[in-house]
């Protein structure tokens, strides 16, 4: 866990828990390991298992917050940690590609390719539907976040990563309108068969 992420967690927890944030966080770190051990990923090695272990902390924080606040508020607090962290990591990924001198669609497709090789795209099934200079449409099936949070009995947390997408893509690719068709809830987190990703060139 990077220092920046720890500082964000400290800031958010301190806002709601005040001086008790530190013992709360330590308990979450312990519970994280117990949560991970109950998943099938604990018996595996590799990048996907490491990613699952890291996500276990979000479950621990959410579950412990649920003992203090109502379900709506503990989701809100968890989102204040997950969404900025997820967006920051994705922005870092886009910057590492060094594609600022390329055309907007080339930048977007470079990111799409990168995610399939080095990002979360490795852990899902993606289907490219359409791509041209003005429009990109693909679907994600077998979503890793959905699988992980269902296995840890917190499926509602999958929605946090839909929210990361909704915030990240407009920031990272301002030349495109990001949407999911007729609703931003066209994702597996909301019970759909697959997650829809559509990017239309702004005119």
| CA-to-CA dists, residue 51 to 39, 47, 55, 59, 78, angstroms | 12, 6, 6, 13, 18
User: What is the overall mean pLDDT for the chain?
Assistant: 95
Which tens digit of pLDDT belongs to each residue from 65-84? 999 998 789 999 999 999 99
Query: Is pLDDT at 158 greater than 90 in this prediction?
Result: yes
Residue 191 has φ and ψ, to the nearest 5°, of 90, 5
What are the residue boundaries of the structural domains of the chain, listed by start?
Answer: 3-201
The pLDDT of 17-36, averaged and rounded, is 96
Instruction: Sort residue 97 into left (φ over 0), alpha (ψ -120 to 50) or beta.
Output: alpha
Locate the DSSP E strands across the chain. Answer: 125-131, 135-141, 176-179, 195-201
Largest CA distance in the chain: 53
Yes or no: domain 3-201 corresponds to CATH 2.20.200: no
Distance CA(31)–CA(107), nearest Å, equals 40
**pTM listed for this prediction:** 0.94
């Amino acid at each position: 866990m990077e220092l920046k992420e720890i500082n964000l967690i400290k800031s958010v927890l301190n806002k709601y828990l005040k001086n008790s944030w530190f013992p709360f966080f330590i308990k979450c770190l312990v519970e994280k390991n117990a949560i991970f051990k109950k998943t099938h990923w604990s018996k595996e090695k590799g990048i996907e298992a490491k990613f699952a272990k890291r996500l276990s902390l979000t479950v621990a924080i959410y579950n412990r917050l649920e003992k203090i606040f109502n379900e709506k508020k503990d989701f809100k607090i968890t989102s204040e940690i997950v969404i900025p962290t997820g967006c920051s990591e994705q922005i870092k990924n886009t910057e590492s590609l060094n594609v600022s001198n390329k055309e907007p669609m080339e930048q977007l497709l470079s990111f799409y390719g990168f995610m399939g090789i080095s990002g979360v795209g490795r852990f899902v099934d993606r289907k490219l539907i359409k791509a041209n200079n003005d429009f990109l449409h693909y679907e994600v099936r077998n979503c890793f976040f959905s699988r992980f949070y269902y296995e840890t009995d917190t499926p509602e947390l999958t929605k946090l990563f839909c929210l990361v997408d909704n915030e990240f893509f407009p920031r990272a690719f301002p030349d495109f309108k990001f949407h999911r068709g007729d609703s931003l809830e066209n994702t597996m987190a909301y019970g759909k068969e697959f997650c829809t990703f559509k990017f239309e060139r702004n005119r």
